[in-house]
Amino acid sequence: MRWLLLKDLQILRRSPLQSTLLVAWPVSIAILVGLAISGTPDKPRVALLNEVPGDARVTVGTRQLPRIGVEERICARVECLLVESRGEADEAVRSGDALAALVLPADLVDRINSLSTPSPTTPQVEVIVNEEDPVRARLVNDRIDALLAQANLVIGRRIASEGGRFLGLVLDGGEIEVLGQTVEILGLRRAARILERVRSRLPAGELRDSVDTGIRFTKLARDNLDTAVPLLRRLSQPIAVEKRVVEGASPPLESFAIAVAATFTLAFVVVLLVAGSLALEREENAFPRLTRGLVSPAGLLGEKVALGAAVGLVVTLLMLAGLAFFVPLHWSRFGLWLVAILAGAGALGAAGAALGAAAREVRAVSLLAFMVTLPVALLSLVPSGAVGVAADDAIGVVTALFPFKPALRAMTGALDPAGPGLGPALLHLAALAGAYGLLARVALRRFGSV
Amino acid sequence: MLEARELVKRFGEREALRGVDFEAAAGELVAVIGPNGAGKTTLLSILAGISAVDGGEVHVPEGEVGWVPQQAALYRRLTVEENLLLFARLERHPDPHASAAEMLELTGLADRREEIVARLSGGNQQRINIAIGLLARPSVLLLDEPSVGLDPRQRARLWEFVSGLVSEAGTTVIFSTHDIQEAERYGGRLLVLADGEALFDGSPDELREAVRREAREAADQDFETAFVAFLHHRGH
């Protein structure tokens, strides 16, 4: 087997395009993923045109709320690109400088204030987006929805807080500023105390009965308004969230992204190399000569899988080493990396051998390898529960039948201590390696024929 | 003695060989001739052990059976020497370098040992193809249309080389060809196949005699015309 392995490596060395691709692929993937992980801005860039006058205040009743600081709040959540006009905002979005533009019109606060008047108008903000790219459009919509929800929440809290303060005044009394004048509010409690004092000095009769009715009303009003205060507070955030993790902890997104990049690299290199080099034996007419007693078909398959595993290991490690320049890796887990890469390469190599034996011609094999590997790899990245039940089940079956997903799980587990356990993934890979090895062996029966 | 008895081979509904009997003694040079689809390659691949028979049996003598397929079975991205070394190693030769050097001398390609095979002419590729078949030092050598694509000079050199194997090493050589003149010139014995049947087994002179008996009008024609007339007379 070692002489065949040497021969395949010699052939690989003599194919400059293939060799260059094998080196260029992991290096470029490492650089792209590294840049994506390390250089992604935490906040999306949004052009902001704030036309609201600086002294505009939201008012509740006759009282002006303190300045909310909408611009500061927005700019705390997104990277603001402050613009002076709608034309500038349009251009920023069109050119891609900003993901979207948010225009706070001059009448925004007036419209908010009109909500507490008999003729309310709906406050509106203007969002300018470029929907040329549907994924980008979806991202922008989600961000804008989140921003608006935040803004509504802030305003709701302020209104609830002010409402609570007014209720407090009604209940307990106090002072309030109205048109620059301080007005004393009596409050229900104090009114009740006054009434009780008056009552004690009144003789029994019609007048005392009337005062009793007044006292009962103030008590009833107090009790009911007391329950309204906490209700008003809850109104700003009616539902609280308590998060409970039922299984494990997910690895950081960076680790998952590295595992995805490494598994993509491993899958494409191993599947294409094994399938292609097996098909090459047929194209060179060497298969019948080799299997006439020089090497068994199973031995030839083993050699191809070993070739794929060896090259896949080197290329994947090269990619991980490249990534280490951008993000810190757990080098202490290097042994587990090797186990995950070799197990993944074994199963992927067996799948490549089955494809190579089935398609038989190098060009057809390359096409088939891409047609199988790419969609399965992409489907493997669809989170469970993100699609309908039937689609979820179908994706689960398809991705379980190809070694990409278990290889990804093994890689994630090997790269990060918070990743999934290696054991089940390795067992899955072993089962797939056996099954694809068997399929490849069966397909080799017709390999030599035309 | 190599012997094949009542060989039957089917590809689906089609019978590629129908009860073919054949034998070849040590040091014989046998040409298998016949029109396209006669079963020549099928017969050789069965004798080589590549294809299984559906009926009949094959007995091969002690020692290796060398097989040289019609299309060169070698690695075009390796050099001449790397190809020979690879197969010598796979054959588990005690000294693969010596075996490769011997074959390089035998094929006259010693001065081109470092060249990538893909850059060689079809004739030279065929010489390496045959050299690989000879690496096992077979007692029987099977050549499937070995001279296809060779120019007359390369062809002459090939047959000189093959004749040397027969006369000097006592190797049994069985080759298939479409070239009737070549079969007449180099084949000590001819096996004529058509539609999977063995129509004739004997020397070129005996074939001419058969033509004289069965297709008298073509008896004085050249060997190829006489052969075609013979096939026509036999209903092929």
Q: Would you give the DSSP letter of residue A244?
A: -
Positive or negative, the Cα torsion across A199, A205, A211, A213? Answer: positive
Q: Domain B1-63+139-200: which topology?
A: Rossmann fold (3.40.50)
- Residue B144 structure tokens: 């499937």
A174 φψ region: left (φ > 0), alpha (ψ -120 to 50), beta (else)? left
Say if the Cβ atoms of A7 and B86 lie within 8 Å: yes
Instruction: Choose, out of A7, A11, A280, the residue to mutate when testing the contact with B (most B CBs < 10 Å).
Output: A7
Strand bridging mode B65-68 / B2-11? unpaired
Q: What is the pLDDT of residue B30?
A: 94
What are chain A's domains?
41-155 (3.40.1710.10), 186-232 (no CATH), 250-446 (no CATH)
3-state secondary structure of B3: strand
* CB within 8 Å of chain A, chain B residues 150-189: none
Find out whether A280 and A297 touch, Cβ atoms under 8 Å. no
Q: What is the pLDDT of residue A426?
A: 96
Each residue's pLDDT tens digit, A47-69: 899 888 877 777 766 667 666 67
Strand bridging mode B2-11 / B55-59? antiparallel
Name B32's Cβ contacts closer than 8 Å, sequence gap at least 6: B40, B43, B44, B174, B175, B176, B177, B190, B191, B193
- Looking at the complex, does the CB of residue B118 fall below 8 Å from at least one CB of chain A? no
Buried b (16+ CB within 10 A) or exposed e, A311-341: bbbebbbbbbebbeebeebeeebeebbebbb
Question: Rounded to a whole number, what is the distance in Å from the CA of B122 to chain A's nearest CA?
Answer: 14
Q: What is the pLDDT of residue B75?
A: 93
Residues of B in contact with A303 (CB under 8 A): none
- Residue B162 structure tokens: 């093959």
Q: What is the pLDDT of residue B116?
A: 93
Predicted ipTM > 0.85 = no
Say if the Cβ atoms of B48 and A292 lie within 8 Å: yes
Length of chain B measured in residues: 236
Say if the Cβ atoms of B50 and A286 lie within 8 Å: no
Question: Rounded to a whole number, what is the distance in Å from the CA of A329 to chain B's nearest CA?
Answer: 39
pTM beyond 0.80: no
Find out whether A266 and A344 touch, Cβ atoms under 8 Å. yes
B34 half-sphere exposure, CB direction, 13 A CA radius: 28
Counting beta carbons within 10 angstroms of the beta carbon of residue B198, is it exposed (0 to 12), middle (13 to 18) or buried (19 or more)? Answer: buried
Confidence of residue A350 (pLDDT cuts 50, 70, 90): very high
Say if the Cβ atoms of B50 and A10 lie within 8 Å: no
Q: What is the pLDDT of residue A341?
A: 96
- Residue A319 structure tokens: 């990619």
How many Cβ atoms are within 10 Å of A343's Cβ, its own excluded? 25
Tally A–B CB contacts below 8 A. 53
Calculate the CA dihedral of residues A64, A65, A67, A71 and round it to 10 degrees: -110
Rg for chain B, CA atoms, rounded: 18
Instruction: Choose, out of A284, A290, A445, the residue to mutate when testing the contact with B (most B CBs < 10 Å).
Output: A284
Each residue's pLDDT tens digit, A426-435: 999 999 999 9
Each residue's pLDDT tens digit, B32-85: 999 888 899 999 989 988 888 899 999 887 667 888 888 888 899 999 999 999
- Looking at the complex, does the CB of residue B50 fall below 8 Å from at least one CB of chain A? yes
Say if the Cβ atoms of B77 and A3 lie within 8 Å: no
Amino acid at A40: T
Q: What is the pLDDT of residue A243?
A: 63
Find out whether B85 and B101 touch, Cβ atoms under 8 Å. no
Largest CA-CA distance found in chain A, in angstroms, rounded? 126
Confidence of residue A163 (pLDDT cuts 50, 70, 90): confident
Say if the Cβ atoms of B73 and A286 lie within 8 Å: yes
Identity of the highest mean pLDDT range in A257-261, A281-285, A286-290, B81-85:
B81-85
Which among B48, B49, B82 has CB closest to A10?
A: B82
Question: Rounded to a whole number, what is the distance in Å from the CA of B107 to chain A's nearest CA?
Answer: 19
Say if the Cβ atoms of A14 and B67 lie within 8 Å: no
Residues of B in contact with A3 (CB under 8 A): 86, 89-90
Find out whether A148 and A104 touch, Cβ atoms under 8 Å. no
C-alpha A348/C-alpha A269 separation (Å) is 9
Query: Domain coordinates of chain B in residue numbers?
Result: 1-63+139-200, 74-138
C-alpha B235/C-alpha B228 separation (Å) is 11
Question: Between A42 and B150, where is the model more confident?
Answer: B150
Each residue's pLDDT tens digit, B88-141: 999 888 999 999 998 888 778 889 999 999 998 888 888 888 889 888 888 899
- Residue B15 structure tokens: 């019978």
Residues of A in contact with B87 (CB under 8 A): 289, 294
- Looking at the complex, does the CB of residue B100 fall below 8 Å from at least one CB of chain A? no
Q: What is the pLDDT of residue A68?
A: 63
* Type and span of the H or E element at A40: none
- Looking at the complex, does the CB of residue A16 fall below 8 Å from at least one CB of chain B? no
- Give the residue on B whose Cα is nearest the Cα of A10: B78
Confidence of residue A450 (pLDDT cuts 50, 70, 90): very low
Find out whether B128 and B81 touch, Cβ atoms under 8 Å. no
Say if the Cβ atoms of B78 and A292 lie within 8 Å: no
3-state secondary structure of A80: strand
Mean per-residue pLDDT of chain B: 87
Confidence of residue A236 (pLDDT cuts 50, 70, 90): low
- Give the DSSP per-residue string, B21-80: EEEE-TT-EEEEE-STTSSHHHHHHHHTTSS--SEEEEE--SS-EEEE-SS--S-TTSBH
- Give the DSSP per-residue string, B113-175: TTSBGGGS-HHHHHHHHHHHHHTT--SEEEEESTTTT--HHHHHHHHHHHHHHHHHH--EEEE
In the predicted structure, residue A292 carries a pLDDT above the cut 70 = yes
In the predicted structure, residue A88 carries a pLDDT above the cut 70 = yes
* CB within 8 Å of chain B, chain A residues 239-298: 284-286, 288-290, 292-295
In the predicted structure, residue A135 carries a pLDDT above the cut 80 = no
List the one residue out of A382, A234, A303, A247 whose CA is nearest residue A3.
A303
Buried b (16+ CB within 10 A) or exposed e, B155-173: bebbbebbeebbeeeebbb
Say if the Cβ atoms of A14 and B78 lie within 8 Å: yes
Question: Between A1 and A347, where is the model more confident?
Answer: A347
Say if the Cβ atoms of B132 and A15 lie within 8 Å: no
- Residue B10 structure tokens: 């089917």
- Looking at the complex, does the CB of residue A7 fall below 8 Å from at least one CB of chain B? yes
